[in-house]
Structure 1
Amino acid sequence: MAEAFKFELVSPERLLVSEQVESVVIPGAEGEMTVMAQHAPVMTTIKPGVVTVKAASGKEDRYVVFGGFADILPSGCTLLAESAVHVNDIDRADLARRIQDAKEDAADAKDDVARSRAEQFLAQLTTLEGALLPA
């Protein structure tokens, strides 16, 4: 059995998870990363995606996050999400609204940097939609 560590997933609305876990897979800005006990200290931004939490009991849960950042220490991990919801509670209309907003942001961008950022966020959201809500 893997060593457990403290994991917390926090959104502006509420604390979604606060428990001892074996591992957490987070959608870091540079790609997915698995966090385990005694992980080297690191801080990373989070892109829209799915966080997979494997509890010390062996139970696995998945949460959808829409950006934020994670603070990882050898003793634990705290993920502060801009918005988060359990994967079973994802709202198709909310995701469609976020995608439409991102399309409008890309179209209304004032310069190439803002347009590139908006297009990247839009691509992340559409990838997430395809993974969660197959047609």
Structure 2
Amino acid sequence: MAEAFQFELVSPERLLLSEEATQVVVPGSEGEFGVMAGHAPMMSTLRPGVLRVSRPSASEEAFFVRGGFAEAGPKGLTVLAELAVPMADLKADDIARQIREAEEDVADASDDASRMRAQIALDHLREMEQAVGSN
């Protein structure tokens, strides 16, 4: 059995996880990477994607993450994400509805600043939709 290490997943809203893990696969900006106990020190920014946590009990959990960074070291891993949502909470129908609404917001924007904010929101929803579809 793989050795456990301390893992924390934090978003601006709350601490999502603070527990032992045997492996965490992180969507880094340079590609996915796995972290296990005793990992060499490193930092990486995150790209939108699915973060997968394996626990000593052999259970697994997945989260959609976007933005932020990960810091790994021999004592553990901390992921500070701008957005972190359990994949179990994401529903394809809800995301599709939000995308339609965001597309309307882009089309209805009255100025460049509003259009840019609406387009960023739309892009984020599409990233989430892609993660749900590939999971």
Residue 58 (structure 2) pairs with residue 77 (structure 1) = no
Cα deviation per residue 1:69-104 (whole Å; 9 max; x = unaligned)? 11111110000010111101125545745xx48xx5
Summarize deviations over 1:85-128 as a string: whole Å, max 9, x none. 1101125545745xx48xx5xxx59xxxxxxxx7xxx4x86454
Q: Deviations over 1:52-85 (max 9, x none)?
A: 0001111101111122111111110000010111
* 1:23 equivalent in structure 2: 23
- Equivalents in 2 of 1:38, 1:82: separation in Å? 26
The equivalent of 1:48 in structure 2 is 48
| Distance (Å, rounded) in 2 between the aligned partners of 1:94 and 1:133 | 11
Superposition RMSD on alpha carbons, in Å? 2.9
Aligned residue for 2:13, secondary structure, equals coil
- Contact 2:95–2:125 at 8 Å: present in 1 too? no
Could you tell me the TM-score, scaled by structure 1's length?
0.74
Percent identical across equivalent pairs?
50
Structure-1 separation of matches of 2:11 and 2:127: 22
Q: Secondary structure at the match of 1:43?
A: strand
TM-score by length of 2: 0.74
The AA in structure 2 aligned to 1:85 is V
CA 1:127/1:85 → structure 2, altered by over 3 Å: closer, same or farther? closer
Stretches of structure 2 that go unaligned for 5 or more consecutive residues are: 107-111, 114-119
Aligned mates of 2:13, 2:75 — CA distance in 1? 25
Superposed displacement of residue 130, structure 1: 2.8
Q: Which amino acid aligns with 1:2?
A: A
* Unaligned segments of structure 1, at least 5 residues: 110-117
Distance 2:48 2:14 in 1: 18
Q: Is the 8 A contact 2:4 2:22 kept in 1?
A: yes
Structure-to-structure mapping, 1:1-135, within 5 angstroms: 1-90=1-90, 92=92, 93=94, 96-97=98-99, 100=102, 122=123, 126=126, 128-133=128-133
- Higher Rg: 2
CA contact (8 A) 2:64 2:131 kept: no
Determine the C-alpha separation between the residues in 2 that align with 1:94 and 1:84. Answer: 15
